[in-house]
């Protein structure tokens, strides 16, 4: 007499547990890489502040020397390209700053495609199957264009030496319809309605062991790849409360599916009202006096030089404690505080709160190598405070100050 035990349920549970554990480990690894990426970007942005800031100053001083000015502008262009890389690194964390407005997904996809149309014509045939109705989304058009360009370029690269075929689709879909597609990102599909961008190619495909790593920062199978593109794409989509899924078969091709919240009529009206704000042109007074609270010598030197060039006075504090002391000492003379968020001893966010308690109206310009989204501070209700991410030019500094400093004596 023998005994038979059905272990099917137990085996299924063990496999599900292993899969869950694998996904947890991958999630933790990606989170660690994200912290590393944002830390590198922050430090690099502080260094670039010295480069881009001084170049913008030199550009102002070389107006009488066109040859030298041309060389300076070329240097500025290279430095700004370096800054774009740090922006991509910050995008990976999904907490980068966004300038959202109401746009049509299909129109944005078409505009992005035009930028690589010549390149794609040489290596692939493109088939458009897009929505005839507008697909309104509230998004940062530059960041979304970056995602579309990256995915189209990757699709073109997948063909290697042969000519291929790329399908580009846009459509609307409900949550139930998306769940039926059995996408890997099923847990991220939480809203009722989405605007979908889909790109499918019949290229070489991606092996399974590589597919699970494609969104990792610094991971790339390309010889000249930086491993930032897809990681940044994922971060940007998360920033827009959307999802990005991928499926691939070696030898058959790859398909990416991106879902972004589809706006309702009520949401369209609300977002249009919130994003349409008129700002009057303002000019800073020549007797303005600025308190700079900044521990990075490169950044403080550049900021001081910019203010000097604009014929403004400035006082420097190299840490939060000294900053508070100097604010109390020169309070009646200070027009505005330029405050770095990352400071030793007393953090910049705490310094901001302390100054606000002392004076609810003093204009404060927050700066950081991090993006605003990565800072644990909500300044949306504070009309006397704005944020400027490093690296910035003199014009960007002046424009930011103009948004918060009134010229009617309110800040005096």
CATH number reported for the structural domain that contains residue 23 in this entry:
1.10.287
Question: Does 280 reside within a domain?
Answer: no
Return the CATH number at 339. 3.40.50.2300
For residue 3, is it within any domain? Answer: no
Question: pLDDT for 192-223, tens place per residue?
Answer: 999 999 999 999 899 988 888 888 776 666 64
Q: State the pTM of this model.
A: 0.55
Q: Tell me which of 226, 245, 275 is where a domain ends.
A: 275
Q: Is residue 10 part of a domain?
A: no
Q: Are residues 331 and 352 in the same domain?
A: yes
In this structure, are 323 and 390 located in the same domain?
A: yes
Where helices occur in 158-280 by DSSP H, the ranges are 175-179, 208-211, 229-239, 265-275
pLDDT value at residue 16 = 64
Q: Which of 72, 92, 112 is the last residue of a domain?
A: 92
The yes-or-no verdict on residue 242 having pLDDT over 60 is yes
Determine the structural domain holding residue 383 and report its residue range. 289-404
Last residue of a domain, one of 92, 115, 137: 92
Question: 126 with 72, same domain?
Answer: no
In a domain, 391, yes or no: yes
CATH of residue 120: 3.30.565.10
Assigned domain for 410 exists: no
Task: Render 3-69 in DSSP notation, one character per residue.
Answer: -----HHHHHHHHHHHHHHHHHHHHHHHHHHHHHHHHHHHHHHHHHHHHHHHHHHHHHHTTT-HHHH
Considering only CA atoms, give the Rg of the chain.
25
Tell which residue, 390, 235, 364, 401, has the closest CA to residue 298: 390
Question: How much is the mean pLDDT over the chain?
Answer: 81
Q: How many domains does the chain have?
A: 3
Same domain, 336 and 399: yes
If one compares 334 and 276, the residue with the highest pLDDT of the two is: 334
| C-alpha to C-alpha distances, 275 to 269, 270, 371, nearest whole angstrom | 10, 9, 20
**Domain membership flag for residue 143:** yes
- Domain co-membership, 115 together with 251: yes
């Amino acid at each position: 007499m023998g005994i038979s035990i059905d272990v099917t349920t137990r085996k299924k549970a063990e496999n599900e547990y292993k899969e869950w554990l694998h996904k947890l480990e991958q999630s933790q690894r990606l989170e660690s890489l994200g912290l590393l990426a944002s830390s590198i970007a922050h430090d690099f942005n502080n260094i670039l502040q010295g480069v881009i800031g001084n170049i913008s100053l030199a550009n102002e001083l070389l107006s009488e020397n066109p040859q030298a000015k041309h060389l300076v502008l070329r240097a500025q262009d290279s430095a700004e390209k370096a800054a774009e890389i740090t922006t991509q690194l910050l995008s990976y964390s999904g907490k980068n700053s966004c300038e959202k407005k109401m746009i049509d997904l299909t129109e944005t996809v078409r505009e992005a495609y035009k930028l690589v149309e010549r390149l794609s014509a040489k290596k692939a045939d493109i088939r458009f199957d897009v929505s005839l109705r507008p697909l309104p989304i509230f998004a940062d058009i530059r960041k979304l264009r970056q995602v579309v360009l990256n995915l189209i370029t990757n699709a073109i690269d997948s063909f290697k030496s042969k000519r291929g075929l790329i399908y580009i689709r846009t459509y609307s879909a409900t949550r139930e319809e998306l769940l039926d597609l059995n996408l890997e990102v099923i847990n991220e599909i939480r809203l009722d309605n989405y605007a979908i961008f889909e790109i499918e190619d019949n290229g070489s495909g991606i092996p399974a062991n590589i597919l699970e790593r494609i969104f990792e920062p610094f991971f790339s199978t390309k010889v000249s790849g930086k491993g930032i593109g897809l990681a940044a794409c994922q971060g940007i989509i998360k920033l827009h409360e959307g999802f990005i899924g991928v499926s691939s078969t070696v030898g058959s091709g790859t398909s990416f599916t991106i879902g972004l919240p589809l706006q309702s009529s009520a949401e369209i009206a609300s977002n249009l009202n919130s994003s349409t704000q008129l700002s009057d042109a303002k000019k800073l007074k020549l007797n303005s006096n600025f308190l700079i609270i900044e521990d990075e010598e490169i950044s403080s030197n550049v900021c001081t030089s910019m203010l000097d060039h604009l014929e403004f006075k400035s006082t420097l504090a190299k840490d939060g404690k000294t900053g508070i002391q100097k604010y109390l000492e020169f309070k009646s003379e200070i027009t505005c505080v330029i405050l770095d968020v990352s400071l030793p001893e007393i953090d910049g966010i705490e310094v901001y709160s302390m100054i606000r308690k002392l004076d609810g109206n003093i204009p404060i310009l927050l700066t950081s190598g991090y993006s605003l989204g990565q800072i644990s501070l909500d300044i949306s209700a504070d009309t006397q405070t704005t944020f400027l991410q490093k690296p910035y030019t003199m014009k960007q500094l002046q424009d930011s100050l103009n948004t918060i400093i009134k010229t009617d004596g309110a800040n005096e």
